[in-house]
Amino acid sequence: MIRVSVLYPHKEGARFDWAYYTAAHVQLIERTLRPALKALSIEQGLAGGPPGSPAPFVAIAHLTFDSVPAFQAAFGPHAQEIMADVLKYTTIQPILQISEVKLGS
């Protein structure tokens, strides 16, 4: 099982439209990546480690797939449409991480 994490780093003055992200963008992700996409979670940053520090990431999305090829096969044909949609809700350039789930789920 692999996880694709999309992390939006905190940036002073950056725009992030939560209403669009959690409705329209999530719908686009679900429509284009299911059924290869096995699970999706969306997290909103609350705080960092040091007391009073801002969350390092405004938002983090985790997408679970069976394997890297399964992700690539699902994402490839829709990559351009999904990337273009990101510009509609944020000025932040997200960081993409592909990980293997070693423990837990």
Whole-angstrom distance, CA of residue 65 vs CA of residue 51? 35
CA distance 32 to 8: 21
- Residues numbered 62 to 81 that lie near a second copy (CB under 8 A) are 62, 68
The answer to whether residue 14 forms part of the interface with a second copy (CB under 8 A) is no
CA distance 73 to 88: 25
Task: Return the residue of 24, 45, 78, 82 that touches a second copy, per CB under 8 A.
Answer: 45
Interface ranges with a second copy (CB under 8 A): 2-3, 5, 7, 22, 26, 39-49, 55-57, 60, 62, 68, 95-105
